[in-house]
Amino acid sequence: MGISLVSVNVERSKHLQLVLPFLDARKADIVCVQELHDRDIPQFESVAGPLVSYAPMTRFGHDGKPLLGIGMFSRRPFGSVSVDYYRGSQGAVLEFDEDSPETKYETERAMCIFADIDAADGVFRVGTTHFTWTPDGRSNAQQWKDLSALTVILEGEREFVLAGDFNAPRGGDIFTELAKRYCDNIPSSYRTSIDVPRHRLRETKADELSQNMVDGLFTTPAYEAHDVLLIDGVSDHMAVVAQLERA
């Protein structure tokens, strides 16, 4: 019973030769993807099921500035879908400006996708997000502002499963605040969700990356997550895999 889930930050189109075969082999019911280029959606649909929703955060890339965002795919029937913004709003998508942390923040939107997923034992409300980045992994005023807006969205959802890249290391104050409100289902034995050998900063920040648990799987009391694993060899982030059940 229940449903199986995979969540992974795919780092744009860099690791398609790894992540697509992985998803094809897993055949999870629900796949949540962060940093997904819109041009790659058909390839993900071929291995992860029909697109539930795609929400662009920005335009990023040197080959036509493709949309970059978050997406959800489902092998199960799905119902009500919502996209709620906690930074920016629906409308024109800006080109990503990498000149400074401030311009990065100003040219990237942030949102949650939530969908009702049909299962044999009822409907599961599943969401995904890509939370606000900071240059050193430490919280700042921008993250706290966005967390406040995100919390309003989550309170409106009431009962849910939320997976994604939270860009806030476990043990830090942002992650701790989320874990106060919702159950953190990533086993404590894992110290990082970064696949260090595949990360762009592996040569200069390997030690820091090896202690960087930034990907999360949170649940409210209506749901439980079992058999939660982090799997490497997929992207610059490890994939979160889990079995979701009703509590």
State residue 46's pLDDT score.
98
Give the span between the Cα atoms of 104 and 93, in whole angstroms. Answer: 13
153 is written with which tokens?
A: 């969205």
Class of domain 3-246: alpha beta
Domain ranges of the chain: 3-246
Reference 126, options 242, 10, 9; nearest CA is 242
Q: Strand ranges (DSSP E) for 166-212?
A: 183-184
Cβ neighbours, 10 Å, residue 201:
12
Q: What angle do CA 177, 113, 245 make, to 5 degrees?
A: 75
* Paired sense of beta strands 223-231 and 78-87, if any: unpaired
Residues 130 and 36: beta-carbon distance below 8 Å:
no
In sign, the C-alpha dihedral spanning 147, 230, 182, 220 is positive
Q: Is the pTM higher than 0.75?
A: yes
For position 91, what pLDDT does the model report?
A: 85
The whole-number pLDDT of residue 201 equals: 87
Residue with tokens 């309003």: 152
Residue-by-residue pLDDT tens, the chain, 247 positions: 899 999 999 999 999 999 999 999 999 999 999 999 999 999 999 999 999 999 999 998 777 789 999 999 999 999 999 999 999 988 889 999 999 999 999 999 999 999 999 999 999 999 999 999 998 889 999 999 999 999 999 999 999 999 999 999 999 999 999 999 999 999 999 999 999 999 988 989 899 899 999 999 999 999 999 999 999 999 999 999 999 999 9
pLDDT of residue 36: 98
CA of 237: how far to CAs of 103, 142, 198, in Å? 24, 23, 8
Q: Is 14 in a helix, a strand, or coil?
A: coil
State the Cα–Cα distance between residues 58 and 199, nearest whole angstrom. 21
Picking from 137, 112, 136, the residue whose alpha carbon sits closest to that of residue 125 is 112
CA distance 72 to 74: 7
Q: Tokens 């086993």: give the residue.
A: 187
164 and 43 in contact (C-beta within 8 Å)? no
